[in-house]
Amino acid sequence: MSTSTGRLTFCQTCEDVEVTEFLSLGMQPAFRFPVDAQEAETEKLWPLDLGVCTRCGLVQAMEPVSERILFADDYHHLAGLTAGYRGHLRELADELAALHTGEPRRGSVVEIGSNDGSLLDELGERGFDVLGVDPCGSESPGGSPVVKDYFSSQVAKEVLVTEGPADVVVTLNAFAHVTDLHDVLDGVCTILDDRGMFVSESHYLVDLLQGLQYDFAYHEHSRYYSVTAMQAAFELHGLEVFRVDHIDTHGGSIRVFAGHAGVHEIERSVTDLRSLEDSLHLTDRAVYDAFARRVEDHRDELRRVIAQITADGSRIAAASAPGRGITVLNYCSLGPDDLEYVAEISPLKIGRLLPGTHVPVVDQEEVLCGPDQPEYALLLSWHIADEVISRLRTEGFRGRFVVPLPEVRIVD
């Protein structure tokens, strides 16, 4: 677990190496939507600053906020809400099923951070015995069971007693959430069968840097992974990365397959990505300083474009409220004076206020695609722009889109 003393922050993997700060995204809220102005007045903000370990290449939050604060109550994200991500989960379930062909059951899966149970249900339909571990979780629509707790070495011991070892431990976009990295990896080793696989998906640091995806930094993400950094953490626990798939999810992610050292044959995909990362000098401070300068320039450009739109008398609203959009709006100081509202389809967000900026969140069908629609929509889920634009056009939005990243552009 990373520790801070005064201005010193140590690497969450190495623990004895001081992390070098390179980017400050200001005071940022958690991914929790206030119900009204009164609740918004008491909203908690924390500094969101990023640093890099020049030994192992891990990029991390300088002052990580405990998962027990961030996920203590409701969590306003549903994994299976969009058609594109549901398709992604089906593809992963098919892949895991192809790797486990046992009869009559394919094996057992434990998912860390199972959210709404969408992946568990897909795996259950393909013959796996499934169990989720999630502090905000509940039984899924398909009836997949969930342990409502934070995954840890202690929880792993308890699950091992009741369920036995897991053939697959999987975590999608939650491995960066955990506060105590080494305790969680101890838990993975405890519960993983001798020939089992630990499969994780995380946003890829290379895509973050090359695509200027600073919006993927928010408090729920304590770490930002490269294969280099992930290998360094796994090796401390006797785990070995044997396969890596570079996938499109969330604007660019890595699906990493690991197992107990010496068990699985290491595939070329691992050495290929390591060679790429070595060529990009991901432990070099200068790489991150250059990235920070690009982020600051982007903030100025986005604010200029929005100001020009409103100065011309046009109206603009935001389309969707993902975590990454909250980072952009807060960092760029874009609030109710700039945006009329945020249009959403998630019932967990509609009728509330956007964290930090407190822009009202409204029903997309009633407003953004209604008769009194604005001239522009700021596409905060820009990483799935084609899907969102197509859906909004089908639903009746006639205006123009402002796509904020990786560079600001307007789409007719």
Supply the CATH number for residue 325's domain. 3.40.50.720
Q: Is residue 210 located within the same domain as residue 87?
A: yes
* Shared domain check, 246 and 121: yes
Per-residue pLDDT at 307 exceeds 90: yes
> What pLDDT, on the 0 to 100 scale, is given for residue 1?
36
Range list of H helices, 60-176: 67-70, 83-99, 118-125, 153-163
Range 164-170 average pLDDT? 96
Q: Percentage of the chain with pLDDT > 90?
A: 75
Question: Are 272 and 291 within one domain?
Answer: no
Residue 241 vs residues 64, 71, 194, 228, 237: alpha-carbon distances, Å: 26, 29, 15, 10, 12
Query: Does 48 map to a domain?
Result: no
Domain span at residue 88 reads 83-281
Residue 136 in domain = yes
Specify whether 294 is located in the same domain as 342: yes
Q: Do 205 and 298 have their domain in common?
A: no
Residues 330, 270 share a domain: no
pLDDT band at 3 (very low <50, low <70, confident <90, very high): very low
Residues 241, 256 contacting (CB under 8 angstroms): yes
At 224 the pLDDT is 95
The Cα 184–Cα 178 span in angstroms is: 7
In a domain, residue 43? The reply is no
- Reported as a single tens digit per residue, the pLDDT across 309-358 is 999 999 999 999 998 999 999 999 999 999 999 999 888 899 999 999 99
Domain end: 229, 257, 281, which one? 281
Is residue 62 a part of any domain in this protein? no
In terms of domains, do 293 and 268 share one?
no
How confident is the model at residue 6, as a pLDDT? Answer: 42
Per-residue pLDDT averaged across 273-284, rounded? 96
Q: Which of 281, 313, 330 is the last residue of a domain?
A: 281
Question: Both 261 and 146 in a single domain?
Answer: yes
State the angle between helix axes of 268-280 and 227-235 in degrees (0 to 180), rounded to the nearest 10.
Answer: 120
Residue 235 has pLDDT above 50, yes or no: yes
Does 230 fall in a domain?
Answer: yes
In which band, very low, low, confident or very high, does the pLDDT at 74 lie, cut at 50, 70 and 90?
low
According to DSSP, the residues that pair with 49 across neighbouring strands are 24
How would residue 7 be classed by pLDDT, with cut points 50, 70 and 90? low
Q: Which CATH number fits the domain that encloses residue 183?
A: 3.40.50.150
Domain count for the chain, please give it.
Answer: 2
For residue 64, being part of any structural domain is answered with: no
Give the pLDDT band (50/70/90) at residue 256: very high
**Residue 290 and residue 275 in one domain:** no
**Residue 328 included in any domain:** yes
Any residues with CB less than 8 A from the CB of 383 and at least 6 apart, and which?
213, 250, 251, 324, 405
Q: Determine phi and psi for 183, rounding to 5 degrees.
A: -65, -40
Q: What is the pTM of this model?
A: 0.89
- How far apart CA 245 and CA 199 sit, in angstroms, is 11
Specify the pLDDT at position 102. 59
Domain boundary residue among 253, 281, 309? Answer: 281
Average pLDDT, the chain: 91
According to DSSP, residue 179 is labeled S
Q: What are phi and psi of 238, to 5 degrees?
A: 75, 20
Asked if 168 and 305 sit in the same domain, the reply is no
Tens digits of residue pLDDT in 81-122: 466 678 889 999 999 998 887 554 579 999 999 888 889 999
Q: Name the pLDDT band for 250 (thresholds 50, 70, 90).
A: confident
**Is 323 a domain residue?**
yes
Residues 163 and 275 in one domain: yes
Per-residue pLDDT, 103: 53
- What's the rounded mean pLDDT across residues 112-135? 91
Q: What is the 3-state secondary structure (H, E, C) of 11-74?
A: CCCCCCCECEEEEEEEEEECCCCCCCHHHHHCCCEEEEEEEECCCCCCEEECCCCCHHHHCCCC
Say whether both 273 and 294 belong to one domain. no
Question: Residue 75 — pLDDT band, cuts 50, 70, 90?
Answer: very low
Greater model confidence, 57 or 75: 57
Q: What is the DSSP string of 312-336?
A: TT--EEEE---HHHHHHHHHTT--T
